[in-house]
Amino acid sequence: MLKTSDQDVQRVFTRRALVLAGGKLALIGALGARLYYLQVVEADRYELLSRDNQFNLELLPPIRGRILDRNDVALADNQDNFRVEIVREQTDDVAATLSALRSIIEVPDWDVRRVLKDVKRKRAFVPVTVVENLTREEIARVAVNAPYLPGIRIEVGRSRRYPFADTAVHITGYVAAVSESELTGDPVLELPDFRIGKSGIEKLHDLEMRGTAGRRQVEVNALGRIIRKLPGEDGEPGRDIRLSLDINLQRYATERLARGQAERLPTEDPRAQLALTQADSALRDAYADRATVLVDADGKVVEAESGSAVVMDVHTGELRALASAPGYDPNPFNRGLSAKDWEELLANPRAPLNNKAVAGQYPPGSTFKMLVMLAALESGLAGQDTKFFCPGHLELGDTRFHCWKKYGHGWLDMKQSVAQSCDVYYYELAKRIGIDRISSIAKRFGLGDETGVDLPGERRGLIPTREWKLATQGVPWQMGETLVSAIGQGFTLTTPLQLALMTARLVNGGKAVTPHIEKQSGPPGAVEDMAIDTRHLDAVRAAMSEVVNGERGTARKIQGEKDDVKIAGKTGTAQVRRITMADRLSGAYKNEKPWRYRDHALFVGFGPVEAPRYAVSVVVEHGGGGSSMAAPIAADILREALRIDPPRQPGPTAAAHGSSGDSAEAVRDRPERDG
């Protein structure tokens, strides 16, 4: 019995041993097959994956193209960006290292909080930027103390720099970090320090100025740590953009516009100190950190003026200056503007972010009268010798339309109507020629539509027509609206650039030049002739000369000295609120008003009179009278343009001009009316 039992156990054991051995053989066979598959069949694939894991491709940001003025002065260029980084694995205590760093250079509290948060989220060997845009002196202090700053390292990159800051910002624009909505899949846009154009030329020519990124391979270990960097391909720098702008004239125009009628004094000047002690707290705070103070003729501290000035070559359309005040410093946008600073810019009532030269829309006031004069001459419904009597107002139905001169100008011909800026004369002309002719000539001279300037953000303005009013307001056009349109009020809106373009076309022989800010290569192309009778254009230029050089012109105070280049132009004052009959009877409208209720001051002009070279337009927001505020500014800017680029020999289309006379007290060109 025992032998039989032992034999059964032996057989069971043998079977089990065979099963286990077979299982082992199967597992070994499967493992061997898998190893064969991985090492032989898939060898090429895993070799490629291994190589890709060992070497990563790194993009090198390209050097952004510069923005240059006509004389190759850089308005936007690139500079070394010294930054300090910290590597967590190289220091035992990040907070202590940051504290030691703060004893050497300034590191804001919010940067410290950001770094402490970032080092926890990133791998220990990944560097975290602590602070950037440091000066060479600050970097030197960090380098000297490097042995006592474990984990701290210095890196050098490139950042955008705007050397003229707020002087040219509305033209250059600025660059800033790429937002999520601007990501297009281009890996260059995802680089941490990459910047793109957000406004101005930077935005318009962003793709051209970016250039092409370079590439290089870096060897990394399994954790992604960079072991070594290999030589790669250099990228292509971006294209430089050359402008027709003259930065010296731009700087002069910006400063002259901001100064207005005030005098700029050093803060330590006794007159400035006295004026500051008498100023309100808001003005004192505004001038707290400034080296100069604006003091008016009454010894009071005043704010800088707000507005725009444009200088254009009348024959080529080149823009030599395009000033908009106030401006702002674009450099902080590159570093990252704080929410507080952004809110302050948005809340500023003088709108520093707005490029007023191309996007500011204003009633043109009496600067519009030359076009009404030209429309009357072209239609044949009035001539240069047409006279009207101005008693100080005109009756239309039950409404009285007033002239700016209370008791009127008496009898005037066409030239004197421009020189003395008589409103009643243009009411009478408007009754003869109608709104259709006025609108048509205005649009031919560049008003009411985009000029085509190579800058973003341009606005169209508005030249009203019968069809426009019916479509937008659902009511027909009225004769009274024709009268106020004839003196540049009512619905009419223009930009300072449009006014400069209008003036250029009036004085260049009726050539339809197009304004442009980018420097053109090669000779200028042919310009379309507007087919305006040259005799009528001569009459307009002669009338504009009479404004400045005549004995009764509204801008005769800007005639200048005997040897000064003779210029011509037209004053304008545009109301921003309606003057009611009650205001007129009480005289309240003449009292001091809050800034936002004051009239806009305008002036358009050209020079030299004999051979026009440059056109200028100036708009001073809520500046008061065109003759007292805008005209002196425009005259100074125009003469500075002619000083920088002296007049050439008179050409065959020399402008006619009126007689000059002795200076006298200028009258205020202000259309005042009721209804």
- Could you list the active site residues? 366
641 and 320 Cβ atoms separated by less than 8 Å: yes
CA distance 400 to 427: 11
Sign of CA dihedral 505, 509, 511, 515: negative
CA distance 91 to 105: 19
Q: Helix, strand, or coil here: 218? A: strand
Q: Helix, strand, or coil here: 299? A: coil
Tell me the DSSP string of 162-176. Answer: -TTGGGTHHHH--EE
CA dihedral 372, 374, 377, 380 (to 10 degrees): -70
CA distance 521 to 242: 10
Bridge partners of 159, per DSSP, are 79
- How many CA atoms does the CB half-sphere of 4 hold within 13 Å? 1
Tell me the DSSP string of 127-196. Answer: -EEEEEEE-HHHHHHHHHTGGGSTTEEEEEEEEEE-TTGGGTHHHH--EEEPPGGG--S-GGGGSTT-EE
CA distance 220 to 227: 5
CA distance 16 to 12: 6
Burial class (CB in 10 A: 0-12, 13-18, 19+), 515: buried
CA distance 284 to 262: 16
CA distance 662 to 551: 6
Q: What is the DSSP letter of 212?
A: B
β-strand pairing of 241-242 with 67-68? parallel
Nearest-5° angle of CA 310, CA 312, CA 316?
160
Residue type, 583: D
602 and 369 Cβ atoms separated by less than 8 Å: no
Peptide bond into 326 cis (omega under 30): yes
Bridge partners of 86, per DSSP, are 128, 152
Bridge partners of 323, per DSSP, are 309
Burial class (CB in 10 A: 0-12, 13-18, 19+), 557: middle
590 and 582 Cβ atoms separated by less than 8 Å: no
Distances from the Cα of 584 to the Cα of 81, 115, 466, 628, 647, angstroms: 61, 65, 30, 22, 46
657 and 542 Cβ atoms separated by less than 8 Å: yes
What are the tokens at 278?
Answer: 């008498």
What are the tokens at 420?
Answer: 């003395």
567 and 635 Cβ atoms separated by less than 8 Å: yes
Q: What is the DSSP letter of 434?
A: H
Bridge partners of 574, per DSSP, are 600
Residue with tokens 């005043």: 302
CA distance 145 to 100: 10
